[in-house]
Amino acid sequence: MKTFAAVDLGASSGRVMVGSVGPRSLDLTEVHRFANRPVRVGETLHWDILALYKGILDGLRAAGPVDGIGIDSWAVDYGLLDARGALIGNPVHYRDERTARGVAEVLAKVPHEELYSQTGIQFQPFNTVFQLAAERGTPASSMAKQALLIPDLIGYWLTGVAGTELTNASTTGLLDPRASVWSRTLAEAAGVDVNLFPPLRRPGDELGRLLPHVRDEVGFDSTVYNVGSHDTASAVAGVPARADAHAAYVCAGTWSLVGLELEAPIRSEASRKANFTNEVGVDGTIRYLRNVTGLWLLQECQRVWEASTELDTLLREAAEVPARRSVVDANDPRFMPPGDMPARIASACEDAGQPVPRTRAETVRCILDSLAEAHRRAIDDAARLSGRRVDEVHIVGGGANNELLCQLTADACRLPVVAGPVEATALGNILVQARSAGAFEGGLAEMRALLRATQSLRRYAPK
């Protein structure tokens, strides 16, 4: 039996989870959870990276000695380092509006058809390629000698070793997902310097040992492993589907990442137009999925309403509201930046000629009906575009705790839903480490069999 710590930074919270792994056992414990609150300074929305790093150190101290540490986080964002390896400014949040400038600059040089045919990455205004373009010509960018994606930045602070983990590298919009190498000609044409990124590493590769001052701070030494450092890559590794189940997945957290696991990317024009992405997964798989604006819609309502109503009360009341009274397009760009989400939902309903929610319960119901409908559409599109059949839907992540969302998704898709594990990301992170450390043998199929045997899952039949 060996133990591993997963550092999992989500857009809504960070956590350090400890997993004990044997050939036929897998126990997971949360040792520390901390809020992830972005900070606006002047015009710019930042991640509070030092607060997150402090949460990680506190979590590792609480974890105690472990045989390995793996780090994953949300995708696309990065920190720039100067010639001495110091961070230049706080990383900018992907919801910051600077991205519009980068989009205009890049698309003027390289049409999206070309970006997609080379990288297979869906259009999102925050893709790293657009963020780097938006930053061109700033003092920070002229000082920058290296760019580290968020998990790689944390790994560098823990070990002193700089690398670019492959699954997250694919989300930059600058990688060829088939050959797993940078699309250098494309980057050049887009005016972005891909040499800022240190060498590519695969999930399972060792990154390094903890630096002496980090050892002193956390109270033990450990190896840090590269894992699927894009949180969605680890989450998909943690989807407990049978290989022959014809399964689709919904990684339901701040985002709903909805799609299929494939062996090869699909970069057709139909796929581009449907805004499906081909992100690199663990063990060379392709995560063929669409980003659906997820529980962000609910999180932002809760922020506006403050803690005045508990989530379980809101969900209980929403379950009593008549179904599908108002359904809006969850991916409406108006929902992207932080702001008054209840008002935006109301105006989206009004614009769509739908009844405007009057109560909090009606607003929550509208959000969940709209998410279930967006899940259905993404699964139908993924099946159509890939020529695959889908017989069941797995929901993992915090959204697997939301019984109403799971049932509404089953109903909208007319398919059985298997919900859980909630912490699929941490589990996927830990299993990749465990395999590298020799505590577990096998590929994704064996990892998923172990998850089915050890984690509690809940089934929802469509009504």
- Selected from 4, 74, 182, 225, the binder of ligand LRH by CB under 6 A is 74
- Selected from 26, 66, 153, 257, the binder of ligand LRH by CB under 6 A is 257
Q: Which does 411 bind (CB under 5 to 8 A by kind): ligand LRH, ligand ADP, none?
A: none
* Helix 360-386 with 403-413: angle, nearest 10 deg: 40
Q: How far is the CB of 279 from ligand LRH (least distance, A)?
A: 7
The span of 138-146, 253-261, 356-364, 434-442 binding ligand LRH (CB under 6 A) equals: 253-261
Active site residue 193: no
- Selected from 311, 356, 383, 457, the binder of ligand ADP by CB under 6 A is 311
CA end-to-end span of the chain: 42
- Selected from 94, 130, 276, 296, the binder of ligand LRH by CB under 6 A is 94
Q: Where are the alpha helices (DSSP H) in 160-222?
A: 166-169, 184-190, 212-218
The residue among 113 and 310 lying less far from ligand ADP, judged by its C-beta, is 310
What is d(CA 170, CA 193) in angstroms, rounded to the nearest whole number? Answer: 15
| CA angle (380, 12, 259) in 5-degree steps | 15
Encoding tokens for residue 135?
A: 């930053």
- Selected from 5, 11, 80, 415, the binder of ligand LRH by CB under 6 A is 11
Q: Does 299 bind ligand ADP (CB under 6 A)?
A: yes
Window 213-272: residues binding ligand ADP (CB under 6 A): 253-254
How many residues lie near ligand ADP (CB under 6 A)?
A: 15
Which residue's structure tokens are 């137009």?
273
- Do residues 364 and 298 make contact, with C-beta atoms less than 8 angstroms apart? yes
Q: For the purposes of burial, counting CB atoms within 10 Å of the CB of 237, is it exposed (0-12), middle (13-18) or buried (19 or more)?
A: buried
Q: How far is the CB of 121 from ligand LRH (least distance, A)?
A: 10
Encoding tokens for residue 113?
A: 């058809």
Q: Which does 94 bind (CB under 5 to 8 A by kind): ligand LRH, ligand ADP, none?
A: ligand LRH
What phi-psi label fits residue 112: left (phi over 0), alpha (psi between -120 and 50 degrees) or beta?
alpha
CA torsion angle 61 65 70 74 (round to 10) = -20
The residue among 2 and 33 lying less far from ligand ADP, judged by its C-beta, is 33
Residue partners of 315: CB distance under 8 A and separation at least 6: 364, 402, 403, 404
Bond before 421 cis per omega within 30 degrees: yes
Report the candidate in 428, 441, 34, 421 with the shortest Cα–Cα distance to residue 231: 428
What is d(CA 130, CA 319) in angstroms, rounded to the nearest whole number? Answer: 40
Q: Which does 232 bind (CB under 5 to 8 A by kind): ligand ADP, ligand LRH, none?
A: ligand LRH
Q: In what order do the strands lie in the sheet with 392-396?
A: 277-280, 286-293, 255-262, 247-252, 392-396, 417-419, 458-460
What is d(CA 101, CA 128) in angstroms, rounded to the nearest whole number? Answer: 13
Q: Which does 298 bind (CB under 5 to 8 A by kind): ligand ADP, ligand LRH, none?
A: ligand ADP
Q: Does 99 bind ligand LRH (CB under 6 A)?
A: no
- Candidates 72, 231, 369, 381; catalytic one: 231
Report the candidate in 291, 293, 305 with the shortest Cα–Cα distance to residue 363: 305
Q: Which does 76 bind (CB under 5 to 8 A by kind): ligand LRH, ligand ADP, none?
A: ligand LRH
The residue among 314 and 346 lying less far from ligand ADP, judged by its C-beta, is 314
Q: Which does 257 bind (CB under 5 to 8 A by kind): ligand LRH, ligand ADP, none?
A: ligand LRH
The residue among 272 and 375 lying less far from ligand ADP, judged by its C-beta, is 375
Q: Which does 163 bind (CB under 5 to 8 A by kind): ligand ADP, ligand LRH, none?
A: none
Q: How far is the CB of 218 from ligand LRH (least distance, A)?
A: 25
The residue among 18 and 318 lying less far from ligand ADP, judged by its C-beta, is 318
Q: Does 428 bind ligand ADP (CB under 6 A)?
A: no
- Do residues 292 and 330 make contact, with C-beta atoms less than 8 angstroms apart? yes
What is the contact surface with ligand ADP in residues (CB under 6 A)? 10-13, 253-254, 295, 298-299, 311, 397-399, 401-402
Residue numbers annotated as active site: 231
What is the contact surface with ligand LRH in residues (CB under 6 A)? 10-11, 74-76, 94, 230-232, 253-255, 257, 291
